[in-house]
Amino acid sequence: MNILFTNAGRRTYLIEYALDLIEVGFDLNIYVSDTSYDTAAMYVDVRINKLITPRVSGSEERYYEGLLDVCKENKIEVIIPLMDFELPVLAAKKKEFEKMGIKVWVSGEETILNCLNKKENYKFCVENGIAIPNSSFTLEEGKPPYIKKHILGSGSVGLEIVKSGKATTFEAGIDMIQEFVEGKEYGMDILNDYQGQYVHSCFREKLEMRAGETDKARSFESAKLEKLAKKISATFKHVGNMDIDFIETVNGDIYFIDFNPRFGGGYPFTHISGANYLKFVIESSSGRTVSNPKFLKSITGYKGLTLFYKEN
């Protein structure tokens, strides 16, 4: 099976996990795409097939056409997208890919909008009884302490914690104000199947963050959080993995702050705990007997640095 990880960037761990499946008998040809050959994920292993696609920003139609061309040329059967900004394009064109026999592990257009657009996300969560910090979309409504962030932000770009006074910058229609909730920050992965039905969830306590991504964390199981995960799964009906950030206050109240409908930076903690979501995705796509992921062990993980290189 020919599987393509799009806009893979530095998510080298997913490529390594796919290579692990080859070692246990999966017949996979792994393709990695990005806008440049100077991309870490392309040099994880000599077996990686490297593809160049246009940038999403500037022309979504051009990106779609470029991606479609490389999929046709290389007989791609499965696409796993790894970047926020390409998700709306792939969601809109999902049926076109499926007509060609290509499975795209992306949620529907409405779900993508309700995740990535924080204004729509706030409205959606409030309407569906999912606890989320109070949010406003004008600077005048913000009462410190609060967090200023981009409505269409990714990672920590544009984020500012304001404990007194006003945010240093605020652009109407671009920025938003979110109530600052004091507490311990956690993450969870929720895996749905291709039809948007719940499969599994895994949870992690964040011990340290770096550039908006989980750097150190402890994985664990929780019946209370599993119940919440199933509610979120049934409400969003996303496809594949959903990477979610939330805060628990000292009183035990939980507030969700980010919904990322893709594999995210916290997934390695889930994977090493035994819950192999990538294996489920590939089994589901290939017609193999599907084995649901299982949490096998609690781990405390620490991200390090690995240099991937090419000879000049």
Domain boundaries, the chain: 2-106, 134-179, 182-302
- Which pLDDT belongs to residue 212? 73
The DSSP call for residue 138 is S
Q: Which CATH number describes the domain made up of 2-106?
A: 3.40.50.20
- Which pLDDT belongs to residue 155? 62
For residues 20 and 234, give the distance between their C-alpha atoms in angstroms, rounded to a whole number: 31
Q: What is the pLDDT of residues 28-45, one digit of tens each?
A: 999 999 999 999 999 999
Q: Which residues contact 162 (CB under 8 A, 6 or more apart)?
A: 142, 144, 145, 146, 147, 148, 180
Of 196, 200, 183, the residue nearest 145 (C-alpha): 183
For residue 268, give the 3-state DSSP assignment.
helix
- Residue 74's beta-bridge partner residues? none
Asked if the domains 2-106 and 182-302 are classified in one and the same CATH topology, the answer is no
pTM attached to this predicted model = 0.95
State which H helix or E strand residue 90 sits in: helix 87-92
The rounded average pLDDT for each run of 10 residues, N- to C-terminus, in the chain (312 residues) is 97 97 96 97 97 94 97 98 96 97 98 97 98 92 88 78 87 93 96 98 93 89 98 98 97 96 96 98 91 97 93 91
Q: Which residues contact 92 (CB under 8 A, 6 or more apart)?
A: 109
Of 291, 306, 278, 285, the residue nearest 82 (C-alpha): 278
- Which pLDDT belongs to residue 164? 85
Task: Give the architecture-level CATH label for domain 182-302.
Answer: 2-Layer Sandwich (3.30)
For residue 284, give the 3-state DSSP assignment.
helix
Q: Which residues contact 234 (CB under 8 A, 6 or more apart)?
A: 198
- CA angle, corner 42, sides to 82 and 10, nearest 5? 45
